[in-house]
Chains A and B, each alone.
Chain A
Amino acid sequence: MTEWHSVKKYFNKNFFLLLSFVFLGLSVLGYENEKNHNDKVVTEGETQHENVDIEIMEKEYNAGESILEHIVDSYGWHILDYNGHSITIPLPVILWDEGKLHMFSSSRFKHGHSSYKGFHIASEGPNKGKIIKILEEDFLHGRVIEEGKNEVLPLDFSITKNVFAVFFSMILLCWIFISVANSYKKRKGMAPKGLQSFLEPLIIFIRDDIAKPAIGEKKYQKFMPYLLTLFFFIFLNNVLGLIPFFPGGANVTGNIAVTAILALFTFIITSFSANKYYWLHIINTPGVPWWLKFPIPLMPVVELIGVFTKPFVLMVRLFANITAGHIIVLGFVSLIFIFGNINIGLGYGISVVSVAFAIFMAFLELLVAFIQAYVFTLLSALYFGMAMEENH
């Protein structure tokens, strides 16, 4: 008991210090790699890479591409461009290809300009942005690989920017709520204080205004851990996504994979906690004329589709809301560069308006961040409640 307590204490106090050192180390490492690479390029007498960099810098600004780059996942965490070099935290690439596990730093790709072990990041085509493996023409077996089919996708378990952000937010969640739980234990029966008093209304809100009315007084307790985790995970990531600096800024809840997993959890919990009336309701919908169910089971099919559309809608709603918000904010920022390309003065002029709009949008997004977390949690709770509704 005491041992665990001391471990927790250590976890609370020192973990963040440790974590920040890890981040710092990673970024320094990334910069080192960058420098080494550039040195090598220079020593080898190839200035190709630098040319490419300059080319990118001077390439006409493409707002759509730039915005999309900020929204989608990536293999490294790009922090800023400095003196023509981009400072990026390299993240581990983990690939499973032909029964073999490959692990290496994403700095090996040199921002997608080079390949490593035959893998590289596709710059165009249907797999754009993903790691692909180019198959050489198989001289050994005398096969010639067709045009366009010379690339395969390895199973990609890389710790990408979004995976990293998910881990980060998960650790943050654990840290916040375990420390809050500790202060509950410490200040038993007393009024909340500090972080506790900020989070307590939210916890009570989820319990009293979401779980209790949606699921019912008797059964809601079973679902509270999931609903609370869900709400705070979405809310935290929505807010972190609005912070433009590291470690915020990753578009986690605007990523369809994340929202899909969350929706899948809701779907699985709904299906497993459903009672017989729920399934009976789907097979034999009450209050519908019999000829809609027999001989062609129209209503059961509609109901069954409904079972799957519910989590699907959950997934799309969160993804679309957060992504749209990011696109709008990035769009306003892009305006500065678009106008700046035409005329530098125009760029400065428009920046005032753009920043004003971006700030306005950021506030709106703050609202959306809460609303979407609330809606996702509320609908999940409603689905659980519907699945457990008694016949009446």
Chain B
Amino acid sequence: MELVSPGIGLIFWMTLSFLIVLFILKKFAWKPIMKSLHERENTIDEALHAADRAREDMKKLKFDNEELLKQAKEERDEILKAARKVKDSIIEESKIKANEEANRIIESAKEAIKNEKLAAITDLKNQLATLSIDIAEKLIKEELSTNIKQQDYIKKLVDEVNFN
């Protein structure tokens, strides 16, 4: 058989068998193979996407956690700060109050002292007055114990009165 002249027999059998095999393989091989390849690729794709999503979620979660921690810290600081403030203010207030109380006590003490002093002075004055009157009485009694003296004194007093 010649090298470059195709034989009718081979052409016939080749066409026939190729068509049959094409049909058989299309139905029983390529279709299921392509389908399962496609399905598997989809599954893998989905799995990868899911993993990506999970990673993203994890990242977000971590970020959220950090944010939360940060917030908590801030809050704690805030609370501490507020507490310190409250403490300071309480101390300040109590200091002021104590001062006031002390001042008040001192004031009232001063008042009391003043009153006592006044009372004492009054008492003293009264006693002094009484004493003076007593002394004066005694003196006068002494002075005016004689008639002469009484005469003299009256004379003097009359003298002193000036009738103008």
Instruction: Give the B-binding residues of A (Cβ under 8 A).
Output: 8, 68, 71-74, 94, 128-130, 155-160, 162-163, 166-167, 170, 173-174, 177-178, 180-181, 184-185, 188-189, 200, 203-204, 207, 221, 224-226, 228-229, 233, 255-258, 260-262, 265, 323
Contact = CB atoms under 8 A, between A and B. Distances in A.
From B1, B2, B14, residue with most partner A Cβ within 10 Å: B1
A207 B30 CA distance: 11
Nearest to A200: B37
A128 B2 contact: yes
Given A178-B28, A181-B32, A226-B22, 4 more contacts: A174-B28, A177-B28, A181-B29, A225-B26
Nearest to B4: A256
B147 interface: no
Interface of B: 1-15, 17-18, 20-22, 24-26, 28-34, 36-37, 39-40, 43
A157 B9 contact: yes
Contact of B7 (A71, A160, A174, A224): A160
Given A167-B13, A181-B32, A228 B25 contact: yes
B73 to A, nearest CB: 48
A68 B6 CA distance: 15
Given A181-B29, A189-B43, A265-B18, A163 B37 contact: no
CB-based closest 3 A-B pairs = A257-B6, A177-B29, A225-B26
Contacts of B28: 8, 174, 177-178, 181
Nearest to A257: B6
A225 B43 contact: no
A73 B21 contact: no
A8 B29 CA distance: 12
Contact of B33 (A8, A160, A177, A221): A177
A170 B24 CA distance: 10
Contact of A72 (B2, B22, B36, B40): B2
A257 B21 contact: no
Contacts of A203: 33-34, 37
B10 A160 contact: yes
Given A184-B33, A224-B30, A261-B15, A73 B22 contact: no
Give the dominant DSSP class at A's interface.
helix
Given A73-B10, A160-B10, A163-B13, A129 B25 contact: no
Contacts of A71: 3
Contacts of B7: 73, 130, 156, 160, 257
Given A166-B14, A178-B29, A184-B32, A256 B40 contact: no
Nearest to A225: B26
B18 to A, nearest CB: 6
A256 B30 contact: no
B10 A181 contact: no
A181 B33 contact: yes
Given A170-B17, A185-B32, A229-B22, A257 B3 contact: no
8 contacts: A160-B1, A162-B10, A177-B28, A178-B24, A225-B30, A233-B21, A255-B10, A258-B10
A114 B39 CA distance: 61
Given A170-B21, A178-B28, A129 B1 contact: yes
Nearest to B29: A177
Given A72-B2, A225-B25, A257 B34 contact: no
B25 A157 contact: no
Contact of B36 (A157, A188, A228): A188
A258 B30 CA distance: 22
Nearest to B3: A72
From B6, B8, B31, residue with most partner A Cβ within 10 Å: B6
A189 B9 contact: no
Contacts of A163: 9-10, 13-14
Nearest to B17: A170
A160 B6 CA distance: 13
A181 B26 CA distance: 11
From A160, A204, A207, A225, residue with most partner B Cβ within 10 Å: A225
A73 B4 CA distance: 11
A255 B1 CA distance: 11
A11 B17 CA distance: 18
Nearest to A93: B9
A258 B18 CA distance: 10
A262 B19 CA distance: 11
A207 B10 CA distance: 30
A189 B40 contact: yes
Nearest to B36: A184
Nearest to A74: B1
Contact of B21 (A174, A180, A204): A174
A261 B37 contact: no
Given A174-B21, A188-B36, A256-B3, A160 B9 contact: yes
A357 B21 CA distance: 37
Nearest to A128: B2
Nearest to A228: B30
